[in-house]
Amino acid sequence: MSHMDGPGIVIVGAGPAGIGAADVLVRAGLRPVLIDEGRRPGGQGYRKSDPTLGLSLGYARAANYKRIHAVFTALETQIDYRPETLVWSVDGRAAYLAERGAVVDAGLSYDRLILATGATDKIAPVPGWTLTGVYTLGGAQVILKDQGCSIGRKVVFYGSSPLLYLAAAQYIEAGAGKVTILDTTPFARKAAASLKIARAPSVLCNGVALLAGLKARGVTIVSGVSGLRIDGEDGRVAGVSFQAGRRPMRLDCDAVAIGHGLRAETQLAELAGAELAYDATFDQWLPRTDADGRAADGLYLAGDGARIGGAAAAELAGRVAAMACLADLGRSIDKAELIRLRTRRDAYHASQEGLAQAFAWPRHAFADLPDETVLCRCENVTAGAVRAVARSLEGVSDINRVKALTRCGMGRCQARMCGLAAVEVAAAARQEAAEALTYYRPQPPVKPIFIPEPALSEV
C-alpha cells in the first residue's frame, strides 16, 4: 500500500480509542490510516467546536480533553488522517469509503483493521417523541459542543443514563435557561451500585461532584419517573406529563433530550467477521473479543463499539488493541505495559457495569407503550404494528422476520435508533426474553450514502 509505511493498518474512528491506537502504532514506527467520520478529531466525548465560533465551553478545559487533543496534534503529521470520511462497508479485507459525501470507487485494502466506532444513544420511545424539539442526549450535546447552541430555553433531560447529568451540567455551564432532569431509575438503585462504580474511583467521585454541582445550581432532579408523555402544541414540544412514584406531574418545556445509556456501533465489526453475543448487563448484543480486543483474523476492536466503558476506558482499550496488533505482526511489545493498560481498562469496565445497574434500561415500560406510539421514525411503524406481527409468528423468534413484515428498521438509520426498542416491544408481546429475538443483522451501507444519478449518456 503506497500510502503507508510497513503493513497496511486502518483505524476507523478518531475518538479516544482510535487516537490511543494510532499513538501506539506511530511509536512503533508505523504509519496507519486514521479514518474519521467527523470534521475534527476527538469523537463525541472530546468533540471540538467549530474554531471560527471562538467558543469557550467548560468541558474543553478539562485535563483529559486537552491531553487527548495534544496526543493527536503530535501524531497528525505521522499518520494518514482522513476526516469527513465514512466507512459504509467492510468486505474482503477492504474498507469502502465515502469521502465528504462522495462514494469512493475502490475499497481501501488493509492487512489489519482496528475498529473504534464508538456508540450512539439507547432510545426508549415515548408518546410524543416525534414532535419538533425532541433530541437524543448525544444530539443535544453535539449542538452545544459544535455550535454553542441550546436545544431550548426550558429543557428536560429524560431517561436513565449518567449522561443525563453530564449533559445537564454542560447546558447549565454554557448559560442555558431552565434545566430539569427526569430519571427513570430510583436513587436507591444508584446507591446500591456505588461499590461497583467505585472500581474506578474517579468515576464515582466525578459523579458525586456532578450531582452536588447540579443541586447547588438549583436544578430539579426527579428520580423514579414512569409513564412519560411528551405533550405538543402546533407540532412542537410544549411540556411533559409523567408519574413521580404515584403522583402525576406535568412540566412546561420547549425541548426534551432522551437517552438510556449507550448502544454500541457493531455493524462494521460484524461485517468484518466478528461474532456477537448477548450482554445482559448492557441489554444488547456485543462483539466477542479476547482480552486484547482481537475479534477475528486481522480484526481488533476497541472502545464503546466493542464494550461500553466510557472515554477513559476507550483510550486504554485502543492502546491495548494496537499492542495486540503489533504482537501479531511479530513486533516486540512491553508486556508489563500491556498488563498495566489491561488492568486500568478493566477497572473502568467494571465501573461501567455498576453504572449500567444504577441507570437501568426501562424494560418493564415496553409492554405498556401505547400501540399508537411510533417506534420506527424512518418508516413510521408503530408499536402496535410490531406487536401484532410478533404475536402472529408462531415458532419464529427473530426480530429480522418482524422487520421484513413491518419495515421497522428498514429506513435511513437501519435500526440504529429503533432497533433495541423494537426487540423489547416484540419480546414483551411474545412473552419472551429480548435475547431470544436476536438482533438486527447489519447490511451495507451501514449509514446513508449519496449515490449520484448516472448521466444520460450512461443510461
Q: 379 φ, ψ to 5°?
A: -110, 5
pLDDT digits (tens, 9 = 90+) for 406-426: 999 999 999 999 999 999 999
- Domain 9-119+263-355 sits in CATH 3.50.50.60: yes
Q: Where are the alpha helices (DSSP H) in 175-286?
A: 187-192, 194-197, 201-216, 267-271
Cross-strand partners of 295 = none
Question: Do residues 133 and 236 make contact, with C-beta atoms less than 8 angstroms apart?
Answer: yes
Domain covering 123-260 in this structure, CATH number = 3.50.50.60
Which of the pair, 458 or 28, is modelled with greater confidence? Answer: 28
CA distance 445 to 329: 30
pLDDT of 2 over the 50 cut = no
- Let me know if the fold of 9-119+263-355 is the same as that of 123-260: yes
Query: Mean pLDDT throughout 155-174?
Result: 94
By DSSP bridging, strand 225-233 and strand 284-287 are unpaired
Cis peptide before 445 (omega within 30 of 0): yes
The ranges assigned to domains in the chain are: 9-119+263-355, 123-260, 363-437
pLDDT of 305 over the 70 cut = yes
Question: What single letter denotes the amino acid at residue 331?
Answer: R
CA distance 398 to 450: 31
Instruction: Dihedral sign for Cα 403, 407, 409, 410, please.
Output: positive
Angle at 188 between CA 252 and CA 282, to 5 degrees: 85
* Residue the block writes with cell 486481522: 298
Question: Do residues 123 and 310 make contact, with C-beta atoms less than 8 angstroms apart?
Answer: no
Q: Where are the alpha helices (DSSP H) in 57-115?
A: 63-75
pLDDT digits (tens, 9 = 90+) for 98-129: 999 889 988 999 999 999 999 999 999 999 99
Task: Give the DSSP letter of residue 318.
Answer: H
Rounded to the nearest integer, the mean pLDDT of the chain is 94
CA distance 351 to 194: 9
pLDDT digits (tens, 9 = 90+) for 270-289: 999 999 999 999 999 999 99
Q: Which CATH architecture has domain 363-437?
A: Orthogonal Bundle (1.10)
String of DSSP letters for 381-421: EEHHHHHHHHHH-TT---HHHHHHHH-TT-STTTTTTTHHH
Least Cα distance to 435 among 246, 262, 251, 279 occurs for: 279
Task: Give the DSSP letter of residue 377.
Answer: T
- Please tell me the pTM assigned to this model: 0.94
pLDDT digits (tens, 9 = 90+) for 230-240: 999 999 999 99
